[in-house]
Amino acid sequence: MDKKNTTRLIVLSAIWGSSFIFMRIIAPVLGPILTACLRCLIAGLFLLGVFKLTNYKINWKKDYKELLIIGVLNSAVPFTMFSYAAINIPASLSTVLNSTTPMIGAILASTFAIEPLSLKKSIGLVVGSIGVAIISSVNLAGSSPSYFLSIGACLIATTCYGINGVYVKLKASHIEPKAIAAGSQLFAGLVLVPLTFITPVSINFTFELFLTVVAFAVICSAIAYLLFFELIRNVGPTKTLTVTFLVPIFGITWATLLLKEPITFPFVMGGLIILMGTYFVTSS
């Protein structure tokens, strides 16, 4: 990988690591559904604006069904789940749980006969599960039900990512990555709009909060997706997947520096074990 693409990978990792900090700040104010909804809508509209300037067109008539399903699986549900978790658990914990995505994806890919589940992958899944158990038990004593529900929400989100990977492979491989990025974000936001009325929140919507939400959506979704799909085009999906190893590092760093979250030895060990399991899964 050349210097330019390596820089893109590091920037993308830093951006996605910061998304958990944004959610930790925004979700307690707006609630999980509105946080996810605004993130998707603003990102989708921003990308459509970029495409308008570059004369790039999405084939809405042909691909709307796939874009809708991808939007729900890859954005609407996981963004809501992670936003809910952000209210109850540290950002550093969410970002480490997010790294289970490749392991869940490997299980689903094997289930649908896309990729066989080798011995090395199986070992990685076991190792990764041990890591999840370790970090989940760090604050076990005296934890409220919302703590465990939030861990479950993070795992639901990563499961959705895994299902989405299988769906894209089987049903949406004909759609250009840029179209998936913008179309799925817009559909995800539209799906969440009705739910914001079902679960309304009382908001003191300041200009500072507005800027934070816009920055969150544009940087962590719109720009991040453009970087992500540019990397896939330049270096392929396998090398791009190494972003999974870097996101927790940046996420924990941001959480420690910006939110002053404590990092314990069992937490670090559990995170390293998850990353080891992920390495076994993705390197075979």
φ and ψ at residue 189, rounded to 5 degrees: -65, -40
Enumerate residue ranges in the chain where pLDDT < 70: 1, 112-115, 117, 135-143, 233, 236-242, 281-284
pLDDT of residue 273: 84
Closest to 269 in 3D by CA, of 85, 136, 124? 136
pLDDT for the residue 238: 53
The total number of structural domains in the chain stands at 1
pLDDT of residue 236: 61
- Residue 226 has what pLDDT? 83
Task: Check residue 61 and give its pLDDT.
Answer: 92
User: Residue 164 has what pLDDT?
Assistant: 84
According to the model, what pLDDT value does residue 99 have? 79
196-220 as b/e: b if 16+ CB within 10 A: beeeeeeeeeeeeeeeebeebbbbb
Residues 6+ apart with CB under 8 A from 153: 81, 82, 84, 85
Q: What is the domain range of residue 125?
A: 3-283
Q: How far apart are CA 46 and CA 13, in angstroms?
A: 21
